[in-house]
Structure 1
Amino acid sequence: MLQEIEPTPRADLDGKIFVLVHGGGHGAWAFERLIPLLVQEGHQVVARDLPGHGLGAQLPRAYSNRPLSPQDFAGEPSPVAHVTLADYRDQVVATINRLAERMPDREVILLGHSMAGLVLNAVGEAVPDLVGRLVYLSAWMTANGTAFTDYMPAPELATGLIPSVLLADPAAVGALRMDFRTSDPEYRARVKAAFAADVEDDNWDAISNLLTPDTPFGPLTERVTVTSDRWGRIPRTYICCTDDHALPLAAQHRFIAEADSHTPANPTDVRTLTTSHSPFASAPDQLAKTLLHL
C-alpha cells in the first residue's frame, strides 16, 4: 500500500519528503498519527508496507485457529519465510527513485523503525545520492559486515524482552513468531512491556489486532555491507528511546558508537525520546517535533 498525502502550499518553499519504513510485524498504518503532523508543516510523506507485512502479510494457518494450538503454531513454517533483505531494499529504492524523478529538488529523509534499520543500511549503501538523511528510530543500525542475529547474544541485549515472547524457533519456521491476539494475560503483558509499555491499554488493544505474528527471519540473518564512501557519507540521526525494552538503550548506544567508529568524519546526530519502542503510537507529537527540528 502506497500512502501519499499532498503537501500544503508551504511545501513548495521548503518541504521535504519523509519516507517512513516500519518495523517487524507492523505496516504503513503504524505512522497514521505521525503523518498528519509532518504534512501540516508542509512536508510530503510516503509510507509503504514492506513485503510480507501489512496488507501483504500472510498468516500461519494455526494463528487463525482459536483456541490456538501451541504445538501447531510453534511448528508451522512461515508463509513469509521467503522474504529477503533485498526484497525490502529494492522496494524502498524503487519508491525513492520514483520520488526523485517526480520531485528532484526535494530532500528525502528516510526513517526506519526497529528492524527497518537493516533496510536503511541497505538502501543507503545502494542509493546514497538520493537520500538526504537517514533517521534510525530505535533501530538496528548494525555495523558493517554484521547481521541482526549477530547481536542477540550481546550483553547490551541481555535485558531485551523479545526472546521472552517468541513462540517458535526462528530458524525452524523462518520467522520471529509472536501471538498478538492471545487471551493469556501474562503473555499479553510481556508483549506490551516489550514493545509498548507507555501506550494506553485501549490503544494497544487496537494496535495488537493490526500486528502480524511473523517477521521474516531471513533478513535478520543477512550481513550488510555499509561502506564509508556510500552509506557513510549520508548524514544520519539516531533517535534513542530511553525506556525501550525491545531494543535496550545500551544496544542503541552500541550501534551509534560502532557507526561513529566506522565513519569518524560523519558522526551520528543523536536525539532522545523518553518513550518505549513505539513512540509513533505513544508520543507522536514528540516524535514529529524531533523530526521537524533535524
Structure 2
Amino acid sequence: MASPPKAKPAILFIEGAWRTFTAYDPFFDIVRARGYELITPLLLTNTPAWKTLEDPPVDDINHMASAARDLADSGREFVCVMHSYGGAIGTEAMAGLGVDERRARGLAGGVTPLIYITAFMVEVGKSLEDTAPAAQIGWIGYEGDLKVFLPGFDIGGKWYNDLPKDKQQRQLAQTIPHPKAGPFRRPEVVAYDKIPTTFVYCTEDNAFPYTVQRALVAAHKSNGIHVDEETVEAGHYPFLSVPEKLADVVLEWC
C-alpha cells in the first residue's frame, strides 16, 4: 500500500524593514492558494509599538523566536522564509530550533529549511552596519533614532525598479519608520550553521545588488556553510513583481 502524501509544512515568514505585509500580499495569496499555512507575526519594529521598545532588534528576535518555538513545541515542522532585514532577525531567532537539533534532544517539530530571499545572512559579532555601512550605500543615513532614506535619490528605483512608476509611488507611500538600532545589532548566535539553508538571488535588485548578494553567500560558503542557491529575475520585492515565479521557487524547498 502506498504511503500517504507528506503533510505540507507551515511557513513562518519574516518580512523586511520599513514595510508591512501590503508589500507581500500577492505572494502570500498564491502560497495560501497552493495549500500552505502562512504564519506571519509582523516584526515589532514594523508596528507602532517600535517607539516603546527598549532594544528593537532584540525584541524582534525574541518575538520571532517565540512564534517559532510555539510551532516547534506543538510538534510542527515548518519552513522559515526571510526577506531583506528579516534575514538578520531570523538568523538569530531560529538558532537552536532546527528539526535535527530538536530531534537530537528527543523533541519533535522544528524548522527546516531556512530560505533567504535577497536577505541578510549575518555573521556572529558582525552588524549590518559593519557589513554594509550606510555611508557606503549612499542613499541611506541616520537621523536621531531612525534609519532613513536620504533626499535626492530615486528610492522607488532602488526598491521597486521592476514595477511601473505609478506602482512604485503607491508602494513608497506605505513606507513606515525603521529604528536605527537594528543595523547595529551584532548577532550572538546564527541558525544557518546547523539548519539547511537556501538563498534566493534577485538579479535586478538595486537595493541589495546581485553582486553583493553573491559575495555574501560566497563568503559563507568559504567558511564551510552549505548554501543551496536559486535565482529569480526581479528587483528587491519579487513578492510584488513576480509572485507566481517566486512561489514556484520557494515552494520547491518546502
TM interval, shorter chain, is: 0.7 to 0.9
Given the two structures, how large is their TM-score scaled by the length of structure 2?
0.84
Alignment of 1:131-170 (within 5 A): 131-153=111-133, 160=137, 163-164=138-139, 166=140, 169-170=141-142
1:82 Cα deviation after fit: 4.4
Give the partner amino acid of 1:84. P
Tell me if 1:225 matches 2:217.
no
Q: Which residue of 2 aligns with 1:209?
A: 173
Q: Unaligned 5+ residue runs, structure 1?
A: 1-11, 59-78
Q: 1:125 to 1:231 in 2, by over 3 A?
A: farther
Q: 1:286 to 1:292 in 2, by over 3 A?
A: same
Give the partner amino acid of 1:25. W
**Counterpart pick for 1:91 among 63, 70, 74:** 63
Q: Deviations over 1:189-233 (max 9, x none)?
A: x10111010012333233222211x21121211111345xx5411
Give the partner amino acid of 1:152. A
1:259 Cα deviation after fit: 1.9
- Asked if the contact 2:202–2:232 (Cα under 8 Å) also holds between the matched residues in 1, the reply is yes
Q: Unaligned 5+ residue runs, structure 2?
A: 103-109
Distance in structure 2 (CA, Å) of the matches to 1:83 and 1:120: 16
- Asked if the contact 1:81–1:217 (Cα under 8 Å) also holds between the matched residues in 2, the reply is no
Q: Which residue of 2 aligns with 1:173?
A: 144
Q: Which residue of 2 aligns with 1:196?
A: 160
Distance in structure 2 (CA, Å) of the matches to 1:123 and 1:48: 13
Q: Which residue of 2 aligns with 1:253?
A: 214
Q: Which residue of 1 aligns with 2:202?
A: 241
**Counterpart pick for 1:35 among 28, 36, 61:** 28
Q: After TM superposition, which residue ranges in structure 1, 4 or more long, deviate above 6 angstroms?
A: none
1:126 Cα deviation after fit: 4.5
More helix by share: 1
Distance in structure 2 (CA, Å) of the matches to 1:225 and 1:123: 10
Q: Deviations over 1:10-39 (max 9, x none)?
A: xx9421111111111012332211112112
Distance in structure 2 (CA, Å) of the matches to 1:80 and 1:284: 34
Q: Deviations over 1:93-122 (max 9, x none)?
A: 1111222344x2x42111111111111211
Aligned residues: 239
Q: Please, what is the CA RMSD of the aligned residues?
A: 2.5
- Asked if the contact 1:244–1:277 (Cα under 8 Å) also holds between the matched residues in 2, the reply is yes
1:234 Cα deviation after fit: 0.1
Given the two structures, how large is their TM-score scaled by the length of structure 1?
0.73
Identical aligned residues as a percent: 20
Distance in structure 2 (CA, Å) of the matches to 1:57 and 1:282: 30
**Counterpart pick for 2:87 among 108, 117, 121:** 117
